[in-house]
Structure formats: C-alpha cells, structure tokens
Amino acid sequence: MKRYLLLIPLVFLGCEEMTTKYEPEPNVVAILITNFPRQRVFVSKSFRISEVPDTSDWCGISGAEVKISYDTIVVMFHELIDTPGVYVSESLPVKPAKTYHLEVTYPDDNIVTGETTTPGTFRIIAPTDGDTVGHGQKIEWEESDRAAAYFIYYRADSLYRPEFGDYYWSEKSFEYIKPDTVVTFGTLSRGYGEITIQIWACDSNYYNYYKGRYWWYDSEPRLLDGGLGVFGSFIYTDSISVFTTP
C-alpha cells in the first residue's frame, strides 16, 4: 500500500455566553482509521472561549480509563507519558464495515460513550496508477458502504505552470458527497507534472462533527452520550500517481 495523505483538523473548544455560569463538559475526540498502526483518543474538557489558554499546548485530562470494544473484544488504551490526555493503542485492529464502541471514564467518574461503524472498502476506478492524463480526465471511484462523505487529497511536489514559466508545490483536499460527482484533474490543479491522489471515506459521525464545527459556529452537534466531541471513522484507498499534460 502506498503512503497515505491526510491532515484532519480537530478543535477542542466549548463556549458559553459570558452572562451565564459555565460548567466544563467532558470533550472526547476519537477518529478510527483503518490500517493505522496506532489509534488515538483525545480526552479533555471544554472551556469558555474567553478562557482559552494563551499557549499551543494540548490541555488534556490525565488519569482517565479509555476502552474501545468490538464483537466480544475489549481493548484498553494507555496514556502517553509525554502528552497527558492522549490515549493510544497499538492493539486495536480497525477494519472496514465493523462497529466499534467507545467508553471513556473520567477521574471524576463522568462517563462518555459513543459508537461508530467504519465505512466499507472501496477503490479508485479511473485513472489507474502511472497513467498520463489531461486536465479533463475524470476521477472516478466506487461507492463505500455507509460513507457519509468523501475527501479527495492530492499532492504535487513539482508542477510546471506554463503561464508563469516556473514550478510550484501544492497539497490540498476537496470534499464531495457522492461518488458520481464530476471531479477532474483540472479541478485539482492547472499545473503539469506528477500528481498523487487518494480518496478517504468518513462515517456520518465525523461528517456531522465536521459540518457543525466548520460550517456553522453557534451549534455543535451532540454526537456522544455524556459529553462533547466525536467518535468517528475513516477508510482510505490506495494512492495513485498520474502525470498531467496540456
């Protein structure tokens, strides 16, 4: 399998109007990704926007009990020594089309639970790895069962721009809802050269969290029982590299 390309933005804030008394809530973010050697769960609490720490450090909650189960198997997560509030496991096999259950018990006995079913296996249909394509070439992929949205990630290390007579580097992502959405290489880039692409499919939990966080800011969807945050999942295709020409 070729290298994967993904940067998932996560925000761990909770807010409340200044005129009311604000009580911090449990805030858990866990995104399962198939075939990743290590799965992560971020455990924190929300805080008022006006009280956001003036630091880039992660403000996690230490001493929680974190476990994810599937079928009849329960996998306990351990906390990273150098990053309190980040819990990891190298023993959780995340497979396509499987249901997982999350349970986080905070030191103050608050419990947060959630469930995700990973999307089904799918692949890029066209073009194929190594093809030479024009900017009008469509990118086609199979439908992933239970997928709520697809994210196309592309990376180009050295694309030539004839109108400027120079080269540039680019890495971007595009989001589409349906596999039959028309996407062309001209949509991705107007430069010429090698482009590597990969498609990720996410479950409805992550997609609703993504929409709530980045499409409207006055309402965060409640996706977990007992707290804020999300328990979602992704599956991705093999990456392919093609060469674009005028």
The SS3 assignment for 75 reads strand
Q: What digits encode the pLDDT tens for the residues 82-101?
A: 889 999 999 999 999 999 99
What per-residue confidence (pLDDT) applies to 215?
54
Tell me which H or E stretch contains 211: helix 204-214
Most confident of 23-27, 101-105, 153-157: 101-105
Residues with Cβ within 8 Å of residue 125, at least 6 apart in sequence: 140, 141, 142
Query: What's the CA gap between 201 and 190, in Å, rounded?
Result: 25
Check pLDDT > 70 for residue 214: no
Task: Give pTM, 2 decimals.
Answer: 0.83
Closest CA to 203 of 181, 230, 227: 230
Could you give all domains of the chain from N- to C-terminal order, each with its CATH number?
Answer: 26-119+203-235 (2.60.40), 124-201+237-245 (2.60.40)
Structure-model confidence comparison of residues 228 and 48, the more confident one: 228
**Residues above pLDDT 90, as percent of the chain:** 58
Query: What's the CA gap between 182 and 178, in Å, rounded?
Result: 9
